[in-house]
Amino acid sequence: MKRIAALLAFGAAAPLAVAAQHDDHQTAAQRAESLRLAGRPWHAAETLLAAAARELHLEPAFVLAGAKAELRARRYDRARGLLAGQPWLGEYADGAGLAVLAEAEARLGRASEAAGHYAAARAHAPGARGALLAVRAALAWEAGGEKDSAAAAYGAARTAGLAVIDSWLRVRQARVTRDTAVAFRLLADLPPPAAREVPAARAQALLVAGDSAAALEAFAQAGRALEVARLALARGDSGRARDALYGLMARAPETDDAAAAVGVALASLPPRTPPERVALARAMKPHGAAPDARMEVERAVRQGDSSAATLVLLGELLAGAGRSRDAERAYRAVAKDAALGPLAIYRRARILVRLGDPGAREALSGFAQSYPADTAAPTALYVLGDMLADRGDWVGAAQWFAELVARYPADLRASLARFRLAAQATQEGLLDSAAALYQAEVAAAAPQRTAARFWLGKLALSRGDTADAEAAWVALAHEDSIGYYGLRARREVALPPLRLAAPPPPPPPPAVAAWLGRLDTLELAGLDSAAETEVRMMLGRSPQQDVDALLAWSEGLAVRGFGPAAVRLGWQAALKAPADPRVLRAIFPWPNRQAVEAEAAEFGVDPLLFVAIVRQESVFDAEALSPAGARGLAQLTPGTAALTARGLDVTFYPDWITVPDLNLHLGAAHLDELLRRFGGRVDAAVAAYNAGVAPVRRWLARAGTADPDEFVELIPYQETRGYVRAVLRNREVYRALYAATSN
């Protein structure tokens, strides 16, 4: 998405709000431009589409505005359909329409057409814009296999004056140059980080020159297994290609190259042996293809692979698919394995809990007794106590919780057990027992000692000792000023709302400004992978920089869509200046504020709550992908997005899920639906955003959960409990940083 935004930024020779032949078009164009500037490209496209449907004869300015909006909204076929064949295209707006058409064609895989239209647009574009279009034309020629045309276009771009990214252009030009002597000269003495690409570029140059044998060895030396596989396959060496592909998937299953290797393998070298099927499954699983991964592992097992590692993987995939009985059998088959047996026994016990099987109690207690040093032993004891508590057997639950605390006093699960026991003691009116448990948490410096201090204040208040309660909460609010419990304590006492006034950032230092300019130029040229490499290199060097430079980098990256990198720099700045409020704005940025606020307003949800969720879900990375397949800023699964869109009568295709404002639109609607479902209870709605509706309904059925504090404390899923606390904390920090200017 950053690449499209960049293209439209340098291609916007004619503003959207132009004088039109029809007032309706002018109003729609102005509205669309306003929406675009507010970070809402999907809404802009919808606005122009609706206006176009009311008029058969559209003037060029309006057509171009609509095509740009469709491009930003990733509706590439619509953008191309608006522009292809227009008689005015070649002469209008200094080639802006040709550039938009070319980008749409490039996105649709029509590389040769895109290259031609980029080249035509370049002929009409002055100065630096023409040089940038030359790079884009070169990329399209390269994608279409026209190496000579690509080399000429890269050379023309360098001649036209893009010195700030010349090292990257040299790498690209060398990759498509047939004369290896020329290519190797281009690659000589390159500065980092472009220098890291030299080995692969040399291999690519050898391939273009026709020396595929040398290229194959060069790719192997460069560690490019995917390229080795592709080239070996082209040379007819299927054995080497197979080894490279499946070795890559087994070695680094979570990488992008492994994801690409899956496609190559399925198309040309499908798995034959059980190890190949398992390697393929391991690469499929983290890239949103768990059902396909499960089928491959099942086939491997049918082919005779009964190894412990394969059966554990199968159990995990079966459990994720809801096939709990089958998962239980897979784990049971591994129980006697020396290395993986303990893991399998523990996971089987958890499956039995999920099934409500009476054997769960013995399985959990047996695991904890047989493997007391295993890192899962405390969790087994906690799950055992939690299971009995859910069944109303508090005597049995207390026995296992007490054993957990005695065996592992500093473990997080022991902290949770203390809190469960304290909550039950409070419900039974045993306030002294509850207080003793909380005090033990504090005395042990255990993980939830801050929470224990908050609850000691609540106990004091329940006894009528308001002075002690207030003293405890005031101290906590000062000592944990931006933590969940410190902020929660602040609301209980007569302290003013937290306000964190951060002065406007100064202009970035010259070195940072120059680096950000290079980043912009790379994105304008379509060299997104080079831009990402630059960001990674900068992150590696950033700890040595001063606070002002770190904050300048952080702000610059946040507004450019590199949210996770921006926040990481904020945390690095916090190590140097923890009391600087500018640091908090870097850790809690709001780069797409107008869009978040607009979508929240449309569905009547609190924008501070919504941004708190977006911050926790994606850290403002529009392309974020979770292991569960959730996508985009608001981290929606394709199923949830499609269901929400259907309820809103919104046209939706899976490819659109990461369009920022459409993702936010559906995310805000989903949050609104959860708030309605749970009667406006923010804590329950946030928990359901993370864990789903069914578990939250089950948790709310427990005694005492009418108290939001108790509900949050007793959420049994560690991830969800931490998520709810983090989101509620985020909301208060955003309120402190931004509420003075919030709509």
Query: Residues of the chain with pLDDT > 90: what percent?
Result: 78
pLDDT (0 to 100) of residue 19 = 40
Q: How far is CA 622 from the centre of its chain?
A: 7
Apex 712 CA angle, 707 and 716, nearest 5: 125
Q: What is the pLDDT at residue 263?
A: 96
pLDDT 10s digits, 657-666: 999 999 999 9
Share of the chain above pLDDT 70, in %: 96
Q: Are residues 7 and 105 in the same domain?
A: yes
Tally of structural domains, the chain = 4
Task: For residues 6 and 70, state if they share a domain.
Answer: yes
Whole-number average pLDDT of the chain: 91
* Structure confidence at residue 427 (pLDDT): 86
What pLDDT is recorded for position 81? Answer: 93
pLDDT-based confidence at 433, cuts 50/70/90? very high
Same domain, 570 and 637: no
DSSP codes, 411-466: SHHHHHHHHHHHHHHHHTT-HHHHHHHHHHHHHTT-TTHHHHHHHHHHHHHHTT-H
| Active-site position among 523, 617, 713, 732 | 617
Residues 148 and 30 in one domain: yes
- DSSP state, 498? P
Which CATH number do you get for residue 539? Answer: 1.25.40
> Are 602 and 648 a contacting pair, CB within 8 Å?
no
Asked if the model's pLDDT at residue 454 lies above 50, the reply is yes
pLDDT for the residue numbered 7: 43
431 inside domain: yes
Q: What is the pLDDT of residue 56?
A: 57
CA dist 552 and 516 (Å) reads 10
Q: What is the CATH number of the domain that holds 44?
A: 1.25.40.10
Q: Are residues 599 and 583 in the same domain?
A: no
| Domain harbouring 625, CATH code | 1.10.530.10
Q: Is 276 a catalytic residue?
A: no
* β partners of residue 625: 631
Q: What is the mean pLDDT of residues 491-505?
A: 86
The reply to whether 599 and 547 lie within a common domain is no
- Residue 219 forms part of a structural domain: no
Is 37 inside a domain boundary? yes
pLDDT at 717: 86
**How far apart are alpha carbons 707 and 639 in whole angstroms?**
32
Residues 143, 8 share a domain: yes
148 lies in the same domain as 49: yes
Instruction: Please report how many Cα atoms fall inside a 13 Å half-sphere around the Cα of residue 519, on the Cβ side.
Output: 22
* Within-domain flag for 319: no
User: Do 572 and 641 share a domain, yes or no?
Assistant: no
**Which residue in this structure is represented by tokens 């239209």?**
117
In this prediction, residues 225-230 reach a mean pLDDT of 97
Give the pLDDT mean for 395-414: 94
If we measure between CA atoms, which residue out of 280, 273, 217 comes closest to residue 248? 280
Asked which of 587, 604, 623 is the last residue of a domain, the reply is: 587
Please check whether residues 576 and 622 belong to one and the same domain. no
- Whether 264 maps to a domain, the answer reads no
| pLDDT higher than threshold 50 for residue 8 | no
Single residue among 161, 192, 208 that ends a domain in this structure: 161
Question: Both tokens of residue 523?
Answer: 């994105």
- Which residue segment(s) compose the domain that 390 sits in? 375-447
Does any domain span residue 191?
no
Assess whether 562 and 614 both reside in one domain: no
On whether the pTM is more than 0.75, the answer is: yes
Q: Is residue 27 part of a domain?
A: yes
Is 222 contained in some domain? no
CA-CA distances (angstroms) from residue 392 to 395, 699, 703?
9, 13, 10
Highest mean pLDDT (candidates 125-139, 377-391, 485-499, 673-687) = 673-687
Instruction: Give the tens place of pLDDT for each residue, 297-352.
Output: 999 999 999 999 999 999 999 999 999 999 999 999 999 999 999 999 999 999 99
Residue finishing a domain among 536, 563, 587 = 587
Q: Which amino acid is at 275?
A: P
Note whether 517 and 639 are same-domain residues: no
